[in-house]
Amino acid sequence: MSMRAQPLCGRLAIALSVAAALACGREGAEQAEETMQAAMASLERMIPELNMPESVRVGPDGRYYVSEIGEFDRDGDGRIVVLDPETWEPAVFAAGLNDPKGLAFRGELLYATDRDRVVGLSASGDVEQVIGPEAFPKPPVFLNDLTAGPDGALYVSDSGPFDAVDGAIYRIDVTGAVTAVITSDDSPEIASPNGLTFDPDGHLLAVDHSTGKLLRIEDGGVSVLAEGIGGGDGLEFAPDGTLYVTDVSGGRLLRVSFGPAGATVDELRHVSRAADLGLDAARGRLLIPQLQENSVTVVRIP
């Protein structure tokens, strides 16, 4: 599989376009604001020729791990590829999966949701652990995102059938035991949970694909932090406290900022079918898989 990294645009062009816009009054100021928003996530390159990429995570080795669904509901054609962060050369890390989506590292193992199960993969790509559907309190419908919690457990979202309020978030401890954190039976806000992460204070956050709401889950309850996210997918906190979110339905990269008056949601750029993004804070990159585009878009952030 040949992949070509395609560098695009530079910061000088952004600076010049901002200066020109500011010289044109109110309309120019509005254009300048849009330009500055784009500059917050300026395009670095695109990685083409993937096979329905869904999630990206930066590994302990600094490389980028990308889940490829392949064809939905086709057993064995899913895989995980790894990209070198400097040369962008790809290599197959694990093959023979079904529909791998969310990725998360816990210790030396890379975990992936794989339709109705979660698999743990060693550093050589071998399957070391399988948490099958029988381990869940009820058979999962659409296991989606994964994140590792500060308690050492994995947290996984089941988005359910999407056309009904029937989602759940589960906790998988280090032994592989699965318990429900919260389900749609506990709260109607848990409709089709997708992206998961923990905020700097250790609270579990989820974005719901069906409602476009950003949720905080604690003590079995749910609070709404922000709305208007559309088909919410990936969540990533930057070191400065900025939360980056993808809207897979609307094809948007969003920024959620938290202040005394609450959360504000800003659109940074259009990214078609933007799925579960990954953050490389050390290199100032967001890596955004694009499902139907069969590519990963890499953007620069401050």
Instruction: Tell me, letter by letter, the H, E, C secondary structure of 60-120.
Output: CCCCEEEEECCCCCCCCCEEEEEECCCCCCEEEEEEEECCEEEEEEECCEEEEEECCCEEE
Regarding whether 169 and 250 lie in a shared domain, the answer is yes
Q: What is the per-residue pLDDT for 78?
A: 98
Q: 91 and 7 in one domain?
A: no
- Of 179, 112, 117, the C-alpha closest to 147 is 112
**56/5 same-domain check:** no
Q: Are residues 102 and 182 in the same domain?
A: yes
Same domain? For 23 and 131 the reply is no
Q: Residue 28: exposed, middle, or buried by beta-carbon count in 10 A (0-12, 13-18, 19+)? A: middle
pLDDT at residue 237, rounded to an integer: 97
9 with 133, same domain: the answer is: no
Mean pLDDT for 147-168 is 95
Of residues 301 and 37, the one with the higher pLDDT is: 301
pLDDT tens-digit map of 249-290: 999 999 999 999 889 999 999 999 999 999 999 999 999 999
pLDDT confidence of residue 299: 98
| Residue 65 pLDDT class (50, 70, 90 cuts) | very high
Return the pLDDT at 37.
54
* Cβ atoms of residues 76 and 99 within 8 Å: no
> Could you list the residue range(s) of the whole structural domain that residue 172 is in?
43-300
Same domain? 48 vs 184: yes
- CA–CA–CA angle 284, 290, 292 (5° rounding): 170
Mean pLDDT value across residues 215-229: 94
In this prediction the pTM is: 0.88
Is 50 exceeded by the pLDDT of residue 188?
Answer: yes
- Are 74 and 176 members of one domain? yes
pLDDT digits (tens, 9 = 90+) for 2-41: 333 444 444 334 443 444 444 455 555 455 445 445 556 8
Tell me how crowded residue 302 is: count the other CB atoms within 10 A of its CB: 9
pLDDT for res 41: 82
Share of residues in the chain with pLDDT > 90 (%): 82
Rounded Cα gap, residues 135 and 139, in angstroms: 8
Once rounded to an integer, what is the mean pLDDT over residues 187-208?
Answer: 96
CATH number at residue 172: 2.120.10.30
Report which DSSP code applies to 274. B
Task: Examine the domain organization and report whether 235 and 269 are in the same domain.
Answer: yes
Judge whether residue 81 has pLDDT over 70.
yes
| In contact, 40 and 302? CB cutoff 8 Å | yes
The answer to which of 45-54, 176-185, 216-225 has the lowest mean pLDDT is 216-225
Going by their DSSP bridges, the two strands 243-247 and 193-198 should be labelled as unpaired
Is residue 185 located within the same domain as residue 54? yes
Residue whose pair of structure tokens reads 């308690």 in the numeric block: 151
By C-alpha distance, which of 104, 99, 140 is closest to 120?
104
Return the sign of the alpha-carbon dihedral for residues 79, 85, 89, 93: negative
Q: What is the pLDDT of residue 5?
A: 44
Residue pair 30/18 in contact (Cβ under 8 Å)? The answer is: no
> Across the chain, what does the average pLDDT equal?
90
Report whether pLDDT(116) > 70. yes
- 61 and 103 in a single domain? The answer is yes
- Rounded Cα gap, residues 96 and 99, in angstroms: 10
- Dihedral over Cα of 287, 144, 142, 74: its sign: positive
Q: How far is CA 23 from CA 11, 13, 34, in A?
A: 19, 16, 15
Number of independent structural domains in the chain: 2
Q: Are residues 67 and 82 in the same domain?
A: yes
